[in-house]
Amino acid sequence: MAGEVPVALTEVTEPVEARLRAVLEDERRRWEPVDPDMVAPLDSLSRFVLAGGKRLRPAFCHWAFVGAGGDPALRAVVDAGAAFEMLHAFALVHDDVMDGSATRRGASTVHVEFDSLHAVSGWRGESRRFGEGVAILIGDLAEVYADRLMSATTPEAFSVWNELKIELNVGQYLDVLGTARGGTDIATARRIARYKSGKYTIERPLHVGAALAGRLGDLEAALSAYGEPLGEAFQLRDDILGAFGDEALTGKPVGDDLLEGKPTPLLAIANERAAGADAELLGRVGRPDLTPDEVAAIQDLLMRCGARAEIEGSIAALVADAVASLDQSVLTTPAVEALRALADYVAHRDH
């Protein structure tokens, strides 16, 4: 059922969050005596990292590592999980600046937080530029902490880590470009989804886990057979939540992707099918003056033209392919069971 978090996810969360907390508390103790002004950005990063998130990337890394015969108590796999969360914080903080997003997880985004601090403090210069500049630096700091956590792992795992960071940046550029251009075709939209989110969320964390156990060579193909389709399903579910999600659950405005004009397969399908007044309505996607009534009308159009139904069908087929690949898996039984549960969660989550 939607919203039910599997044990395969929750049992990975606690040690990863404890490691994140320890790193951030150590950094606060390190830098506060140097200059008390460093407390604000470090506390902001701590709130961002520790106050939310599904911890999917650490979970997929963990279960691939366990499935390859690794000891789940090993510090390296916990460090890798914490590194994924730091890298995710980096990506989200920068993404919010690029998109001009005001909220994330039901709270002000980092750049908005520091924009407000500048404004109420009466400091010199433009508050928006200050907020965005500080957010970029906080995101950069999170990336440095992520790399430092990964530096204690194996050279093979670190090599995969570097590749996934390149892929993430490629996907993000294509996403920014697609948003600016508008009207992205389905093939391009799927490519963006794969590189910006799918590989980075599931396939590459699986590869890092196998590499930590020294078994990437013999498990990479099998893990990709599971991770690649599930990664695409994950992003397609994100696209539906971005267009239809409940603000109370997603922590972002209703129809957020429609307001931002994200180049999703959902919108690409609708653009292929729409004509006349419907095509004109879709042309309003991403406009700064898009109204709530227009968002509701676009949501209705996505239903009427069958775009949402087609994406739901794609999610079901992709998850089925991912789960079926586990039938031939040589991973340990607990790992296979965990990966089945995680696939179901990815398919049906509501935030």
**In the chain, what are the domains?**
7-348 (1.10.600.10)
> Closest by alpha carbon to 189, among 176, 204, 178?
178
Both tokens of 211, joined, read 């590499």
Report how far residue 262's alpha carbon sits from residue 184's, in angstroms, rounded to the nearest whole number: 9
Residue 184 is predicted with a pLDDT of 79
3-state secondary structure of 103: strand
**Three-state SS sequence of 164-198:** HHHHHHHHHHHHHHHHHHCCCCHHHHHHHHHHHHH
Residue 3 is predicted with a pLDDT of 57
Residue 182 is predicted with a pLDDT of 85
Residue 2 is predicted with a pLDDT of 54
What's the Cα-to-Cα distance from 218 to each of 199, 221, 260, 289, 329, rounded to whole Å? 19, 7, 42, 53, 11
Report how far residue 333's alpha carbon sits from residue 99's, in angstroms, rounded to the nearest whole number: 42
Length of the chain: 351
Amino acid making up residue 52: G
Both tokens of 73, joined, read 């108590």
Which parts of the chain register pLDDT below 50?
1
Using CB atoms within 10 A of its CB, is residue 4 exposed (0-12), middle (13-18) or buried (19+)?
exposed
Residue 253 is predicted with a pLDDT of 83
Residue 25 is predicted with a pLDDT of 98
